[in-house]
Structure 1
Amino acid sequence: MFWCAFVVFFLALGNELHLSHATEVSVNNTENKLCLYANLMVNFSVTYEVGVNKSETVLFVLPENVTTEGSICNNTTSTLKLGFGDGHSWAVEFTKDNKTYQVDSIVFTYNLNDSNVFTNSTSNETKSVTAKPRITNVGVDTYYSCKSENVQRVESVTQTLYDVTLQAFVTNGSKSDTDTVCTADLTSSTVAPTTTVTTTAAPTSTPTPTLPTPTTGNYSIAPDFNSTACLMATFGLRIGFKQGDKVETINLVPSATEVGGACGVNSSILILTSDTINIMFTFNNDSKKFHLHALNVTVKPATGVAVVAANTNMSIWVAAVGSSYMCNKEQTLTVTETLTLYTFKLRVQPFGVEKGEFATAVECFMDSDLSFLVPIAVGVALCFLIVLVLISYLIGRRKSRTGYQSV
């Protein structure tokens, strides 16, 4: 029983990270035949006013369940309109010539009167922004495919598209098997996320530690130049990734890294950008606890192709809102089978920062005084198991001798 209990306890230490679902829709024409198809992921970041000279930034995603009311299929123009939530919509305008089609614009409409999304908004307006993405020269009877991130920033709104599959002007009533791949994917190797990830699992191939320990960087986000930090993080970061059969590692260099991001009521983001690494951390909170919710990583090594990986439904680095999360020991986070993150001397606080200082830290298990009990518990459990086996063996022999004596 002790052995079983220990195994359950030990396995529970690894937080499984499950992937979110994409938004997939099909639109039929008046003949009830497929004319528009989409399967994609979109993240939104919207900054809005909550008072005089005060603003908040909220982050949310295009949900799995949407409506297609207002979508239109014509010979040379088409509109894919996705409605969601309380008065929000996301519309893609397509046009076609003889051999190709393109996206002319993406119109995002959001309702500031939706208190579930825009908490404490001082406006009840419905606003729209129009983005002009570079989605062109898509062959007729092919679908547009782009795994890489496509970031559109217009006014106070940022839209991030990724894992995009789009087809307009479908002619035979079914989605094409041929794709037109975006330029970003042609110059990168995009890694599809695995279905589950554990923070305690080792990577598929452990890289040889040839690099020095990464330099610890101090990163912070402030609402404006005159404010103190609303998000703080400090850590050293290494990324391990596969290039063919070879495993390579790269360190993030803080002195060569630009910091960006935004602080929201329920979501905050930290974006670190260098010549070789782009990484976006998305933190969520439920008013009581916060956690790391999503990771988007792009590695651009000196040789070989770029590697892109994303996980958009994580639950690690958990701590109470108003406190910080700390883990000084090296942490291994296996994002995909071919990309792994290693953090050193980690401390983060994405919410409730006061006076530009970290609050009391919640320590990870590896830093706690109880971590030394793990090898002891393993040893005790093994000894207990050996004793049970010996007792069972002796009882079995005794019964055998009793049987012989009876004969």
Structure 2
Amino acid sequence: MSRHSAVVGLFLSVGIAIQLSHGIEVNVLQEDGQLCLYANLMLNFSVTYQGDGEQFQTVVFPLPDYASSEESKCEETSSTLKLKFGDGHYWSVNFTLNEDSYQADTITFSYDLEDVQLFPNSASDEIVTVTQKAQISEIDLNTCYSCKSQDIIQAEGTTMTLWNVLIQAFIPDGRMSQDITLCAADAVTTTAPTTTSTTTTAPTTTNTTTTAPTTTNTTTTAPPVTNTTTTAPPTTNTTTTAPPVTNTTTTAPPTTNTTTTAPPTTNTTTTAPPVTNTTTTAPPTTTSPTPTLPPPSTGKYNLTTPNNTVCLLASFAVRISFTQAGKNEEMNLDPAVTKASGQCGENSSELELVSDQMTLTLAFTNDAKKFRLQVLNVTLKTSSGVFADGNANLSLWEAAIGTSYMCNREQNFNVTNLLSLYTSNLQVQPFEVKKDAFSTAEECQGDAESFLVPIAVGVALLVLIAVVVVAFFIGRRRNMATGYESF
């Protein structure tokens, strides 16, 4: 096949919450107009480069929504998704076809350091191209590859964060498949809680018909018949179906063979006792309320430069509140199983915290006077699947460069309409860390007020004491003057 045209649209996915990066939807078409490659994804870049004065800088930016896919193409056994943006930058993925599956072989990112919009104060004007092997393989043919979790690809000073991916290559007949091949990170095996179902089985009711022994050539004159009715006691938790009732009336006619005769002198008419049918209704299932989470533990994290100098410090307790499938849930970040990674730059720094169930990515920016938290991305592995959400337009934890930001009280930040961040015992310094320790802290308003209140109360008490003392001396002096006048 020859090179084909492509259609690019803004990712407007329903049900996927994350907004950290722009979303791109790409439809690569054959010459006859049939769809041959589809991609729907979110992508962030982090690039470290040398700036003026031999200082390294790091910039974080998303794949723009205006990226062009005109150079994407489909061929018989290989396809290429290529997205161009800005002044000479592009990102591409190459797919190859196997017998009954396909895979992504390589991911390439090329960027021009001469672009001052993306790389301000760059000391270089070269074009840098990095290639990394993709971790997307064994996708069943005629299925879509789906991965909501983050796929972090690192290569030579560049970090590519890929998530909320939906891709299908080698589409037959131009029709996308409804079948999904999940990435390993999304394939969370959920073990259903053990449910104990108690089924009460009614005891078996044995109906025994007793046939009296046969009396040969016996004539018995029946005296008055005594009818005995026995009522069975109620049976609890038993559903009993009444069997057919057999009434045996025994009368001894003369010279009748095979006559069922009751004991001598008494002919008994036995009526089956009335059966009490008791239907036991299982009590309604009571759903236990979700246990309240304990307060999150405070973790201490840091990043170091290649010469083992600390360049970023962070200390906080974190709880995440999120809404998934209409249900509100919470999860704590456990410092005991959390690993910190990332990179420091002059104008931006990134801290990534990864535990078994949670990944937090925090990107700080520096405008030469103050720093702030600008980007927060959260990925959670829950019993309901993978939850991913974030915001790239935050302005939190702001403080002057050369100081740290501190807030001991609990803070609640609504990151998106589905995601909230709770922090306490917070102190961060993403730039200009000196002597591996926090610098002077700029405190949040609540903490500052908590110090002002006791100070104000103390000052008021001192003023009150001073007034009382002055009044005492004035009163005493007047009393002494009155005493002198009396003489």
Unaligned stretches of 5+ residues in structure 2: 1-17, 191-288, 454-487
Q: What is the match of residue 348 of structure 2?
A: 267
2:71 matches 1:70: yes
**C-alpha distance in 2 between matches for 1:55 and 1:71:** 34
8 Å contact from structure 1 (residues 279, 298) kept in 2: yes
Report the CA distance between 1:282 and its aligned residue. Answer: 1.8
Counterpart mapping for 1:144-293 below 5 A: 144-187=145-188, 209-211=292-294, 213-227=295-309, 229-240=310-321, 251-293=332-374
Q: Give the one of 323, 337, 350 matched to 2:430.
A: 350
CA contact (8 A) 2:148 2:388 kept: no
Task: Give 1:295's match in structure 2, choosing from 376, 381, 387.
Answer: 376
| Structure 1 residue identity aligned to 2:350 | I
CA deviations 1:183-207 (Å, max 9, x no partner) are 2212178xxxxxxxxxxxxxxxx97
- Matched residues in 2 for 1:107 and 1:155: separation? 12
Q: Which residue of 2 aligns with 1:308?
A: 387
Which residue is equivalent to 1:402?
Answer: none
Paired with 2:165 and 2:71, the residues of 1 have a C-alpha distance of: 21
2:357 and 2:335 map into 1 onto residues whose CA distance is 12
Identity of aligned residues (%): 45
Give yes or no for contact 2:315–2:425 (8 Å, CA) kept in 1. yes
**Partner Cα separation in structure 2 for residue 142 and residue 241 of structure 1:** 30
Q: Are the counterparts in 2 of residues 59 and 264 from structure 1 also a CA contact under 8 Å?
A: no
- CA distance, structure 2, for counterparts of residue 62 and residue 334 of structure 1: 25
1:327 lines up with 2:328 in the alignment: no
Q: Retained in 2: the 8 A contact 1:321–1:351?
A: no
| Conservation of the 8 A alpha-carbon contact between 1:45 and 1:157 | yes
In 2, the alpha carbon distance for the partners of 1:210 and 1:255 equals 16
RMSD over equivalenced CA pairs, Å: 3.5
- Compute the displacement of 1:53 (Å): 6.9
Considering only CA atoms, is the larger Rg found in Structure 1 or Structure 2?
A: 2
Q: Describe the superposition over 1:337-393 as per-residue Cα deviations: whole angstroms up to 9, x where unpaired.
A: 7765321111222234445444554443433439999xxxxxxxxxxxxxxxxxxxx
Change (3 A) 1:253 1:370: closer
Residues 83 and 309 (structure 1 numbering): CA distance in 2 closer, same or farther, change over 3 Å?
A: same
Shift of 1:22: 0.8
**Contact in 2 for aligned 1:294/1:310 (Cα 8 Å):** no
Residue aligning to 2:29: 28
- What amino acid maps onto 2:313 in structure 1? M
Equivalent residue number for residue 85 of structure 1: 86
Cα distance in 1 between the residues matched to 2:181 and 2:34:
22
Per-residue deviation, residues 264-303 of structure 1 (Å, max 9, x unmatched): 24331112233454322122344454432333334457xx
2:113 match: 112
Aligned length: 337
Q: Which has the higher contact order (CA 8 A, sep 6+)?
A: 1
Going from structure 1 to structure 2, the CA distance change for 1:165 and 1:266 (only over 3 Å counts) comes to: farther
State the AA in 2 paired with 1:230.
Answer: C
Match of 1:198 in 2: none
Equivalent-residue separation in structure 1 for 2:451 and 2:42 (angstroms) = 39
TM-score by length of 2: 0.60
1-side partners of 2:320 and 2:452: how far apart?
27
Displacement after TM superposition at 1:89 (Å): 0.6
- In structure 2, the residue matched to 1:395 is none
- The alpha-carbon distance between structure 1 residues 118 and 42, as it changes in their structure 2 partners (threshold 3 A), is same
Amino acid corresponding to residue 70 of structure 1 in structure 2: E
- Cα deviation, residue 20, structure 1: 4.8
State the partner residue of 1:405: none
CA separation in 2, counterparts of 1:149 and 1:335? Answer: 18
Residue matched to 1:391? none
* 1:179–1:287 Cα change, 3 Å: farther
Going from structure 1 to structure 2, the CA distance change for 1:368 and 1:171 (only over 3 Å counts) comes to: same
In structure 1, the residue matched to 2:250 is none
Displacement after TM superposition at 1:249 (Å): 5.4
Quote the Cα distance in structure 2 between the aligned partners of 1:352 and 1:23: 36
Whether the 8 Å contact between 1:309 and 1:339 is mirrored in structure 2 is no
TM-score, scaled to structure 1: 0.71
